[in-house]
Amino acid sequence: MQTVALHTRLRPGKEAEYDRIHAEIPSDLDAALRDAGVHAWRIWRSGRDLFHLVECEDFARMRAHLQTHPANVPWQARMAELLEISDDYSGAKPQVHLVWALPPRT
């Protein structure tokens, strides 16, 4: 299992539209993500900056699976209209390694 952190940035004025579109992910895209080995994908937004945390079996394999998937292609085209920076990982392996966590109370 890999945990991958990504950063993207919205075009100015696209915040509300991005939030609205993400209120409900299409069921075929949901299925495609799961078929590609994604266990969880969370997105936080601070102003125009988006911070993604993806938990998946294999990030490179997931991207390859989704690249031409019929559920993902139109979704990515729609996101391209909203994003100023679509990714900032440029082929690097953006894995996040847990350094510290507040332990649960015992």
Average pLDDT over residues 11-16: 97
Q: Produce one character per residue of 22-50: b if its CB has 16 or more CB atoms within 10 Å, e if not.
A: eeeeeeebeebbeebbbeebeeeeeebeb
67 vs 106, residue with greater confidence: 67
- What pLDDT was estimated at residue 105? 87
Helix (H/G/I), strand (E/B), else coil: 97: coil
Least confident interval from 21-25, 36-40, 41-45, 88-92 = 88-92
Domain ranges of the chain: 2-85
CA distance 48 to 30: 24
Which candidate, 88, 87, 71, 80, places its Cα nearest to that of 18? 80
Average pLDDT score, the chain: 88
91 vs 77, residue with greater confidence: 77
Task: Identify the CATH number of the domain defined by range 2-85.
Answer: 3.30.70.100
- What pLDDT was estimated at residue 96? 65
Token couple for 56: 């998946």
